[in-house]
Amino acid sequence: MRRRIIDSKNKSKTIWNIIKTETGKKEDKVDIQSLDIKGIITSDQQIMAKNLNDYFVTVAEDIIDNTSISKTGQPMHDNYLNYMSSMFTSPLSNIRPKHASTHEIEGIIKSLKAKYSHGYDEIPVAILKASALFISSPLTYIVNKSLSSGIYPTRLKFSIVKPVFKSGDKLNISNYRPISLLPAFSKVFEKVIYSRLNQHLIQNKILASDQYGFRKNSTTNRASFKLLNEILVAMNNKLTIGGIFCDLKKAFDCVNHEIFLNKLGYYGINGVFKKLIKSYLNNRYQKVVLNNRTTYNTTFSDWEIIKYGVPQGSILGPLFFLLYINDLPKVITNNAKIILFADDTSIIISDSSPHNLEINMNKQFLAINKWFEANLLSLNFNKTHHLLFRTKNSLVTDISIYHQNKNITNVPNIKFLGIYIDETLSWKSHIDKLVIKMSAACYAIRTVRGLMSQETLRMIYFAYVHTIMEYGIIFWGSSATSINVFRMQKRIIRTIMNVRTRDSCRELFKNLKILPMYSQYIYSIILFVVNNRDLYSSNYETHNLNTRHTTNLHLPTSRLTIFQKGPYYFGIKAYNHLPSRIKSMSNDVKLFKLRLKRFFLSNSFYSLEEYFNHVCN
C-alpha cells in the first residue's frame, strides 16, 4: 500500500480511496439510473441525456424569466450602461495584443497537465504534450491568424458535458451539475487570449480591489481577513454592524453576452480583440454524454446551442465573469464594504445606532438588487441571509431587511468561503463541525493503522487531517473552543503512534515533525502577515522614530478582547515576538518560511502562553 501511494500521481486521491475501501465507504460512482421528467420516472438513457442537456442550456433563461426582469430581456430598473458610464469618466487605452511566438506556444503546452480525458475530438492533453515539438509551429500560425482576424476556430467551441450528482433527490434533474470537457487545443488558444487580456487589466488596474476570486496572489484567507477585520474594527469602535450574504442563482450561467460585450468597450477592449471575444462566445454548442458501466454503452444527446453564460470548464470563463460584475462595488456607499469572491457577494455595514443600521442595510440591499436586475442576474432569496454581529454581553437587536415584499432571513451563523462565522465570532459552530471531521479521520486512521507503516500514516495525516485543520486556522485558532481541536489532534497523533490514551504527545509531535495545533496557528498567522505585508505598517512608518522596536509592526489601540484575538491584532503580536534572527529574514519569504517552520518544530508550543513566555535568545 505504501508503494501504491508513493507511485501515485495524485497521492491524496489514492489515500482517500484506500481509506474508503478499508472503512467500507467506497466511492459512489453509480451511473444515472433514472430521472423524473415532468412527473414521469424514466430510465431511458436517450431521454435522460436529452433532458439533462435541455436543462443545462436553458437554466439561465428560466431564471431570468422568473425574476422581475421583463420577458423582453430588458431590465425593469436602471440600465446597466448607466452604471458603466458613471464608473468611467474617461475612456481607457485600447488593448494592443501582441502575436504569439513558437516559444510561448511550447511553454503553454508544457504547462498543461498530462490528462487523458478528452473532448469530442478524442485528443487528450497527453497527446498534445507528446507531439508539442511537431505541432508548435503550425499551431502558432493558426493562433496568430485568430488574433489578427478576430475569429475563434469553430471546431474548438464544442463541449462534451458529463452530469455529476450533487446532493438531494437523485431523480431531480436540478440536482446534477455539468462537467464540461473542451478540446485540448482550445486550452492553448484560451491561454494566449487570457495572458493578453489579463496583462491589459493589470496594467490599467481595471479589476476592483474588492474582488478576491480567481486572481493571482489572492486567497480565501485574504477575503475572509477583509470581512472579519471590518467587523472587528467596527466592534472596537463601538459601532453596530451587520452583514448581508448574497447567493446568486447560477451566476456564471446567466452572464448575458450582449451586456458583457458592451461593457468591454469601457475597459478599452475594442477592435479586433473584442471581435475575437465575441467570436469565442457566440455559436457554442454542447451535448451530454451518459456512460453505463454495466452495459458499457455510451449515450449522447444532440448538439444544442448555448445562448447564455461563460463557457463552463474554460480558462477564460472565470476572468470574463470578473469583468461582468466588476462595476458592482461602485453601487456600495462609503459606510459599507463589499467583499467579492467570484459570485459570492457579501456586504458589511456599520453605523452608530441600530436604527440607522437598519436603514442603511436596506438601502445597500436595494442598490445591489437594482444592479443585479440591470445585469440580468438574480438573487436566491431563500439562501440570502443577514447577520448582526455583537459582543457576548451586548443586547440582541432586531432588524428587518426587505426587498419587493421578501424578507431576508436573519441567521445566527453563516458559511463564508468554507468557514462558519457566528454573530459573536465565538467560532463554536465552525469548531464543532471541524471536530466531527477530525473524529472521522481518527477512526479511518485507526482502521488502516495495521496495514500501513508509520511513514504512510503520517502521509494520511497531512492529506486527511492537516488540510481541514489548517484551513481558516488564522481566524479561529485563538478562540476558547479551539482546545477541542487540539484534543482531537492529540488523539489522532496517539493513534498513529499506537500509544496509550494518557501518554504525552509533545515528543511524538517532534518525532513526526507535525506542529501541535497552537504552534500551527501561530505559524500560519505569522506567515499570513509576512505574505500580506501591505496590510500592516511598521512602528517606523507610523511614528517615524528610530527605536529598538522600529522594525516591529505597529500594534493598534484595542479596547476589546475579541479584537485582540482577531487575525490583525494577534498576527502583529505574534510576529513581533519572533526572535530577531528570524524576523530579519522576512524579506526572503522562502528562507523565512523554512526557518520559521524549524523554530516551531523544535519548540512544539502547546499553548499561546508557552509561545509568549518563550525567551528569545
Domain boundaries, the chain: 40-76+93-205+257-307, 221-250+328-416, 428-613
Q: What is the CA radius of gyration of the chain?
A: 27
Rounded distance between C-alpha atoms, residue 368 and residue 17, angstroms: 44
Q: Give the model's pLDDT for residue 228.
A: 97
- Where do we find the cell 449515450? 299
Rounded distance between C-alpha atoms, residue 281 and residue 238, angstroms: 50
Contact 250, 59 (CB under 8 A): yes
Q: Give the model's pLDDT for residue 77.
A: 46
Q: Give the model's pLDDT for residue 78.
A: 53
How far, CA to CA in Å, does 372 sit from each of 207, 211, 403, 565?
18, 16, 13, 36
pLDDT tens digits, 450-470? 888 888 899 889 988 999 999
Q: If pLDDT is split at 50, 70 and 90, which confidence band does 292 have?
A: confident
Rounded distance between C-alpha atoms, residue 323 and residue 310, angstroms: 11
Q: Give the model's pLDDT for residue 397.
A: 74
Of 10 and 390, which is predicted with more confidence? 390
pLDDT tens digits, 119-130? 999 999 999 999
Q: Give the model's pLDDT for residue 70.
A: 46
- Whether residue 395 is predicted with pLDDT greater than 80 in this model: the reply is no
For residue 59 the three cell numbers come to: 437554466
Contact 62, 69 (CB under 8 A): no
pLDDT tens digits, 215-273? 988 899 999 999 999 999 999 999 999 999 999 999 999 999 999 999 999 999 999 99
Full-model pTM: 0.91
pLDDT tens digits, 152-171? 999 999 999 999 998 899 99
Q: Give the model's pLDDT for residue 86.
A: 77
Q: Give the model's pLDDT for residue 264.
A: 95
How far, CA to CA in Å, does 484 sit from each of 432, 436, 489, 518, 563?
8, 11, 9, 11, 22
Question: Which CATH code fits 221-250+328-416?
Answer: 3.30.70
Q: If pLDDT is split at 50, 70 and 90, which confidence band does 44 have?
A: very high
Are β-strands 385-389 and 409-410 bridged in parallel, bridged antiparallel, or unpaired?
A: parallel
Q: In angstroms, how far apart are the furthest CA atoms of the chain?
A: 79
Nearest to 457 by CA among 465, 200, 566: 465
Tally the C-alpha atoms within 13 A of residue 42's C-alpha that lie toward its C-beta.
Answer: 14
Rounded distance between C-alpha atoms, residue 40 and residue 394, angstroms: 54
